Amino acid sequence: MKKGLSVRICLKEMRIKSWLKNVFVLLPLVFSLELFQPDKLLRALLLTLSFCLISSAVYVLNDINDVENDRRHAVKKLRPIASGALAISSAWVLHICLLATGLALALVVNVYALTFALAYVVNNILYSKWLKTKAVIDCFCIAAGFVLRVLVGGTIVEDGVSNWMFLTVVSLSLFMAFGKRRGELHSHGAGATRDVLEVYEINFLNGMVFTCAGLTMVFYSLWAISQKTNLVYTVPIVLFIVVRYLLLVFLGRAEADPTNLILSDKTLLISCGICGIIMVVLLYGPQFVLGYLFL
């Protein structure tokens, strides 16, 4: 098989589906009621693209580092680097191009965004090289990636990231991280795919999943109540989404990337879409009504 930098192989290695995670970058802009300010929207989209490229660079680096383990994995062995479709040398070129472009886009927006982007890269390097073998710390590293996405989005809005938004994202990210570990342990057993699974115990992970799910709902409810909008009416559908995700965790389907889990479950995907639409209507509906009345 000829190895190189073909577009198809590169796109597969970049894991485009996982770019859905970078919607977290847009959250501060949406909830600050500044979504339809053209200048800020453009900068938010640039930051989202920046994190898409940087996260893909991180995936490439992880696959380079884990190539031997991936070749022994039933699913991961099909990844371009593990399968031999993408040479290690070509993967390094792809990694550097993605990383340099992503960091450059962050710098174009502002230096604070670049700082958070660099923190995201450092966090992932430490995770890939060392921290992924440290129980609990590994899940906090995963959660930190989502939190940094939100913080970078907060660099372009007037009030930054609110306390309730920060706590909601932290608890939600830990919920998904511990759920992923629970799914891996349930499906493959201790140490089958990750050394850190030797340390985890199923009842501990069950407790952490429930705890983080509960905290997510508490923090989101308090955040919704604190808003001057009618966001509190989204609490039931957010609860439904959390419970549905929780069910999938205990059905053993959460070992995959959270993005793949959401995209593969129609109920969860549709619920997230409906929730997003309702949020936008509740947040921006009054602005459009008032604007129409005073034309």
pLDDT in tens, 249-275: 888 776 667 888 888 899 999 999 999
Helix (H, G, I), strand (E, B) or coil at 215: helix
> The pTM is what?
0.88
pLDDT of residue 292: 52
Cβ neighbours for 11, distance < 8 A, ≥ 6 positions apart:
none
DSSP state string for 103-154: HHHHHHH-HHHHHHHHHHHHHHHHHHHTGGGSTTHHHHHHHHHHHHHHHHHG
CB 212 within 8 A of CB 205: no
- pLDDT tens string 119-144: 999 999 999 888 988 999 999 999 99
Amino acid at 18: S
Note the maximum CA span of the chain. Answer: 66
Q: Which one-letter DSSP state was computed for residue 291?
A: H
Q: Are 116 and 71 in contact (CB under 8 A)?
A: no
Tell me 16's DSSP state. Answer: G
- Residue 54: the pLDDT is 96
Under-50 pLDDT residues of the chain: 1-2, 4, 293-295
Distance CA 108, CA 157 (A): 16
H or E stretch covering 47 = helix 38-65
Tokens of 18: 């996982």
Q: What is the pLDDT of residue 1?
A: 40
Structure tokens at 63: 């696959």
- Cβ-defined contacts of 61-67 (< 8 Å, 24+): 61/95, 61/124, 61/125, 61/128, 62/124, 62/128, 63/13, 63/91, 64/88, 64/91, 64/92, 64/95, 65/128, 65/129, 66/128
How buried is residue 163: exposed, middle or buried, by Cβ count under 10 Å (0-12/13-18/19+)? exposed
pLDDT at 5: 59
Residue 256: predicted pLDDT: 63
pLDDT of residue 2: 46
